[in-house]
Structure formats: C-alpha cells, structure tokens
Structure 1
Amino acid sequence: MRAVELREFGGPEVLRVVTAAVPEPGPGQVSVDVAYAGVNFADLKARSEGYRVPQLPFVPGLEVSGRVRALGAGVTGLTVGQEVTALTGGGAYAEVAVADAATVFPVPAGLDLRTAATLPTVLPTAYALLHTVGRLQPGESVLVQGAAGGVGTVLGQLARAAGAGAVYGVVSSAAKAAYAKEHGYDEVFTGAFEEPVRQATGGRGVDLVLDPVGGDTLRAGLACLAPFGRLVSFGNASSAEPWSVGQPELYPLAHSVSGFSVLMLARTAPEALRELAERAFAEVADGTVDLPVTAEFGLEEAAEAHRLMGGRTSTGKLLLRVGR
C-alpha cells in the first residue's frame, strides 16, 4: 500500500510517499480502507517536533473515513465494507489504517465519506469544549482562539446554536476574520485581543475562553475572564513552556481553568469519548453545524497540505484524498 512516512523530524519536505506493508488489526481493533484523511495541527507538531511519535519511521495522521477492511478478534457491532469514520491516533496518511474499535464510528446517515473525514477530532473536541468541559449556558459570552480553523469554525456555530449571548473570535489576519464572521462569530479580533475584548464587553470580560495556543495567549485569555469565568486549554500551538496557574490568578474573581485532549480521552476513557462523539456527530447530521473542506490534496501532496496549514493562512478543514 501507499503511505506517507517520516524518517526524521523537520519541515514538510521530510514527508515521503513509500510502499508499506498493509497493517492487520489486532484484538479489539479495526482496519479501514481509507478514502480520506484529515490534516490537523497535531500532525505538523508530530512532523516537526516528534509530538506523540513513539518511534521512527512514523506514519502521521489522526483521523480517517473509509470502509471497514477487517475486524480484529472480539470486535462486534461493525461489518466488513461498512462506511466508517475513525480516530486513529496515528497512521492515517495511508491507504489502510488501523484504529481501536472504540474510536471507529459508523458514518451518520446522509453524510458522505468526504464530509465524514472532518468529524473524528474536530466535532468531539468542539462539543466538549463548549458543553462538557466549558459548560456554556444560554446568554453567556465565549472567546475562541483560532476562530477560523477547523475547531474554531465548529465552535462558532455550536455556541450560536447553544444560545450564547455573544461569540467572539481571535484570528491572525483580516481574511480569517471575514471567514469566521460567516460561521457564527459576532466580532473577531486580529492580533492583540485583551483590550478589544474589554471594550466589547463593557469592561466585564467573557464567561468562557477556549484556548489552543498556550503561553502568553493563554495568560491574556485569563485576563479576559469575567467574574466566575472559565478557561479551557486544549492545545499548545505556541510550543511554550508548561504553564501553571494558582491562587493569585484564580481566587480574586473565582476563575477556573480546565483542559481537554481528544487524543488523551481516547486513550484513558474511550467509552466516554464514544458517547461524546455520538452527541457531537448529531449536530452535523441535523444540519446545526457545517464544517467546510476548504482544501483537498492527494496523498502524495501531504507536504503541500502541511505547508498551507503551517503558513497560518488556511481556514476550515484540510483533507488528503487517499482512496483511488
């Protein structure tokens, strides 16, 4: 089979299409003939920094859509040939990928495989950030970093559907701001955002901040919280040093900080992830959320997909077209 492999860490050029052995599912696993693979920022960090790479050579990629190829021992509820979408934890940039059965989901009725490839990481993450971890209540305000990315695109729509009083976003360019405003955001800030947020909220701040960046951006997000506000960290795109927060930051205005990782949840509580994903996928099936595929590349063009995402100019969701 064809697969995209990296043998060293570095820029997009380290991604190479190779001929590899077809993986077989172990007990409790499923192999999938891949139609599409999603491209995520975590893939770029794996390629450049070794994020979640157990050893080299390594095939990156966290999510696929396709058809069940084979079932490992003990797997029930799925059939060979069934259309599925799956969170793989690695190995998605290939014609055949293997995933734990707990993170393999039938494609919701009415969705095609191209759309299904956008679901496994983005939808559960966005749903959890707002509802399960962030506990957004009707009328509350929310501030989203990376508002034009895959997760950000969904968050704006979900927040609006949940009855948020105001949905604010932060992006890196005017073009991204225009895109975000088409997907649920009331106001979008470019660059520095702390003072604009204060002005937009009459000095009160926001009830919920969602941050995938970390570092100084996370600290600024904390400063934007209203009394009893919550911040949810769900990434460290800045590659900043690990941060800590304690009594001086939290006690004065009763703030709280929590975290979420769909990959960690898949490892530590797969059944909880499954329940979360099924609720999240329903938001797409019923038309509440639309996640546009803004660029599609062939498997052999994986490096170009990484260059586009790494250049911080992309919006929405990027896919690799894998199936012949």
Structure 2
Amino acid sequence: MRAVEFHEYGGPEVLKLVQAQIPVPGPGQVTIDAVYAGVNFADLKARAVGYRVESLPYVPGLEVSGRIRSVGQGVEGLRPGQEVAALTGGGAYAEVVVAEAVTVFPLPEGVDLRTAATLPTVLPSAHALVHEVGRLRAGESVLVHGAAGAVGTVAGQLARAAGAGAVYGVVSSAAKAGHALKYGYDEVFVSDSFTDGLGEEIRRATGGRGVDLVLDPVGGDTLRRGIDALAVFGRLVSFGNASGAEPWQAGPPELYARGRSVAGFSILALAQSAPEAVRSLAERAFRTVVDGVVELPVTAEFPLSEASAAHTLMGGRTSTGKLLLRVADAGPAAEGSPA
C-alpha cells in the first residue's frame, strides 16, 4: 500500500510517499480502507519537531474516513465494508489505517465520506471547548483565537447556536477575517498578539467588561494576556501552544481577585486517558452537523502524493477551514486547490 512518512524532522519536503506493508488489526482494533485523511496542525508539529512521535520513520495523520477493511478480536458493532470516520493516534496518511475500535464512528445518515474526514478531531474539540470545558451560557461573550481555522470555524457556530451574547474572533489577516465572519462571529480582530492593541480593542468592544470565555490555541504571552481580558468569573481554555513558548503557569495573583479560571483540553490526550468519553463527546458533536447547526468547509484538497503541498499551505498561515488529503476516489474534487 501507499503511505506518506518522514524519516527525519524538518520542513514539508521530508514527507515521502512510500510503499508499506498492509497492517493487520490487533485485538480491539480495525483497519480502514482510507478515502480521505484530515490535515491538522498537530501533523505539522509532528513533522517539524516530533510532537507525539515515538520513533522514526513515522506516518502522520490523526483522522480518516473510509470503509472498514477488517476487524480484530473482540470488536463489536463494526463490520467490514461499513463507512466510518476514525480518530487515530497517527498513521492516517496511508491507504490502509489501523484505529482503535472505540474511536471509530459509523457515519451518521446523510454524512458522506468527504465531510466525515473533517469531523473526528475538529468537531469534538470545538464542542468540548464551547460546552463541556468552556461551559458557555446563553448571553455570555466568547473570544476565539484562530477563528478562521478548522476549530475556530466550528467554535464560532457552536457559540452562536448556544445563544452567546457576542462572539469575537482573532485572525492574522483581513482575508481570514472575511472567512470567520461567515461562521458565527460578530466581530473579528486582525492581530498576531495582544501586544499590538488587541487588549484595548476587546475592552472597547465589551465596554470595559471583558469576555466571559477565551479559547486559546496559541499559549505564551497570548494566553497570559487572555487571562487579563476575562470578565469577572471568566474562563480561559487552553487547547494548544502554537507559539512554542515555555509551559505557562497561572495562580492566585492572576485568578483570585476576579474569580477567573483556566482549564485545558486536548482531544488526543483525552482519547488516550478516557476513550469512552471521546466517543460520547463525538456523538454529541457529530449531531450538530446532521442537524445543520454546524458546517466545516473543505477549502483545499490534495492527493495523498502531495501531502507536502498541503503542509506548505497550512504552514504558510493563509489557509482557512479544513484541508484534506484524498487517498482514494470518492467522487469529483478539485485537486490541490480550493474545493
């Protein structure tokens, strides 16, 4: 079978298309004949700095859609030929993918394989950030960093559907702001950090009150200043460290005086520690797509052989929405360009 792997850390050029052995599912696992694989920022971090990579060579990819090829011992409720989406610990950039059965999800009625590939990481993550961890209540305000990315695109819609009083986004360009404004945001700030006046813009927009919920995938100074932007009893949820800064700390000086709180979330970490919780979370999140509450646009699609081009596009910070790799034919699509 074909797979994309890297043997050393570096830029997109280290991704190589290779011939690999077809895997066999172990107990509690299934193999999937992949049709689409999602591209995530975590894939770029794996390739560049070894994020969550145990050894080399390594096949990246955290989410896949396709048809079950075979099931391992003890697997119930899944059968060969069934159309599914799956969250994996890696290895999704391949024609045949191994996944733990507990994080393999039969497709809801009306969801095709292309749409399904956008769901396993993004939808549960955004749902948890807004609801389970962020605990957004009707009438509250929310600020989302990376509002034009995949998680940000979904989070804005979920916040709006939850009755948020105001939904603010932060993006790095005017073009991204235009994208975010289509997906639930009331106002979008173009800024790389709080250091160029963003804090003042938030205070202006909220009449000096601050926001009730901040969703932050950046870390570093952005996270620390995000705490300062919280209203009384406000919450900040950290779900990444794109800045590459040293691990953050928050304590009594930042939190006690105004009753603020900080929480964290990672769908990959939760899948390891509490996979059944991920399954329940995914089921709730996927329903928002079936019910028409949320849509996640696929803005670019590349064949498996051009995974490096997909990484170049995402790494250039110009992409919006969701990027996919097409592993096998499943209907017409625009190759290597906005879909």
Deviation digits for residues 18-60 of structure 1 (CA, Å, limit 9, x no counterpart): 0000111110001000000000000000000000000000000
Task: Quote the offset at 1:78 in angstroms.
Answer: 0.5
Write the distance in 1 (CA, Å) between the matches of 2:14 and 2:123: 29
Structure 2 distance, partners of 1:175, 1:221, is 24
Aligned counterparts of 2:39 and 2:245: Cα–Cα separation in 1: 22
Which residues of 2 match residues 1-324 of structure 1 at below 5 A? Answer: 1-191=1-191, 192=196, 193-324=198-329
Taking the aligned partners of 1:269 and 1:133, their CA distance within structure 2 comes to 15
Residue aligned with 1:297, SS: strand
Shift of 1:185: 0.2
Give per-residue Cα distances to partners, 1:95-120, cap 9 Å, x unaligned. Answer: 00011001000011101100000000
Tell me how far apart the structure 1 counterparts of residues 111 and 3 of structure 2 sit (CA, whole Å): 26
- Aligned partner of 1:274: which letter? R
1:105-149 Cα shifts (integer Å, max 9, x gaps): 001110110000000000000000010000000000000000000
Q: Distance in 1 between matches of 2:106 and 2:46?
A: 27
Alignment partner of 2:284: what SS? helix
Within 1, Cα distance between the matches of 2:287 and 2:261?
A: 29
Distance of 1:229 and 1:109 partners within structure 2:
38
Deviation at 1:219, TM superposition (A): 1.1
Aligned partners of 2:228 and 2:147: how far apart in 1?
A: 19
Q: Secondary structure at the match of 2:160?
A: helix
How far the C-alpha of 1:89 sits from its partner, in A, is 1.0
User: Whole-Å Cα distance in 2 between the matches of residues 286 and 165 of structure 1?
Assistant: 22
Counterpart-to-counterpart distance in 2, 1:256 and 1:312: 30
In the aligned structure 2, how far is the partner of 1:218 from the partner of 1:194?
12
SS at match of 1:108: coil
Q: Which runs of 5+ in 2 are unaligned?
A: 330-339
Partner letter of residue 153 of structure 1? Answer: T
- Which one-letter code corresponds to 2:219 in the other structure? G
Identity within the alignment, %: 73
> 1:303 offset after TM fit, Å?
0.3
Alpha-carbon distance between aligned partners in 2 of 1:13 and 1:109, rounded to the nearest angstrom: 39
CA distance in 2, matches of 1:86, 1:226: 38
Name the SS of the counterpart of 2:108 in structure 1.
coil
Structure 1 regions of 5+ residues with no counterpart?
none
Letter in 2 for 1:256: S
Counterpart for residue 336 of structure 2: none
The residue type paired with residue 84 of structure 1 is V
Question: When the two structures are superposed, what TM-score results if normalisation uses the length of structure 1?
Answer: 0.99
Deviation at 1:190, TM superposition (A): 0.8
- Write the distance in 2 (CA, Å) between the matches of 1:107 and 1:47: 29
Counterparts of 2:162 and 2:4, CA distance in 1: 39
Distance in 1, Cα, partners of 2:297 & 2:138: 26
> Which whole-Å CA distance do the structure 1 matches of 2:307 and 2:225 have between them?
34
Shift of 1:195: 1.1
- Partners of 2:160 and 2:127 in 1: CA distance: 12
SS of 1:67's equivalent in the other structure is strand
Q: 1:9 is paired with a residue of what secondary structure?
A: coil
Q: TM-score, normalised by structure 2?
A: 0.95
Letter aligned with residue 225 of structure 1: L
